[in-house]
Amino acid sequence: MSLDILQQSLAAFSGMSASAFELSASCWQQKHYKKGEFYNEYKNVCKHLGFILDGVFRTYYTHADTGQEKNMFFFTPHQVIVSYKSFVTQTPCNYYTESMTDATVIYITYQQLSQLYTESKEWEHFGRLIAETAFSLAMTRAEDFVFLTPEERYTAMIASHPDIFNHVPLYHIASYLNIQGPSLSRIRKRMMERK
């Protein structure tokens, strides 16, 4: 069942055919994560590219001087999860990726995916699209802090992760938006009043 969901998602994402997907069928493995378990840790090399079946993850870094955690990304069901720079370069990661709920991920290893790139133009196309998506995600996050108001960042977050408030504590969402808790409460109140 999980492979069916994955195949449909890859077809929608990259136009991958059933025959190309079949090349990968034996590669995928499923893993369950408990709340608080790490998908990838600081200074570890990311060796897997995953697809979230259920659950929510966050990527964060810890400030060296204050020890304060800063949320960078959320990953929710039917999204790819990977520490992309670490994965592509096979070098240690600069941040943590942690499960915020019990979660299930189906994943493929770096070596397996690299082999698929050599065997199939469709998988090579998939790899390029993943790279473009990762770049776009990182640039969008950086630009959001320059060009968008906190309320606009909030709206963009809801568009990407509609159920986030059902799974993630408010202080983590405030950290992701780079605002304080009271500001988040005011934004939520204004949004509710407009509905």
Q: Mind listing the pLDDT tens digit for each residue in 137-182? A: 999 999 999 999 999 999 999 999 999 999 999 999 999 999 998 8
Please state, rounded to an integer, the average pLDDT across all residues of the chain.
Answer: 93
- Using pLDDT thresholds of 50, 70 and 90, give the confidence band for residue 112: very high
**Are 87 and 104 within 8 A, CB to CB?**
no
- Using pLDDT thresholds of 50, 70 and 90, give the confidence band for residue 66: confident
Token pair for residue 23? 């090349």
**Is 188's pLDDT higher than 80?**
yes
pLDDT above 70 coverage of the chain, percent: 99
**Total-model pTM:** 0.91
Round to whole Å and give the CA distance between 17 and 24: 12
Mean pLDDT of 109-114: 97
Predicted local distance difference test score (pLDDT) of residue 1: 56
**Is 54's pLDDT higher than 80?**
yes
**Is 39's pLDDT higher than 90?**
yes
**Are 56 and 138 within 8 A, CB to CB?**
no
In terms of Cα–Cα distance, which of 22, 27, 50 is closest to 107?
A: 50
Round to whole Å and give the CA distance between 11 and 14: 6
Predicted local distance difference test score (pLDDT) of residue 182: 87
**Are 78 and 9 within 8 A, CB to CB?**
yes
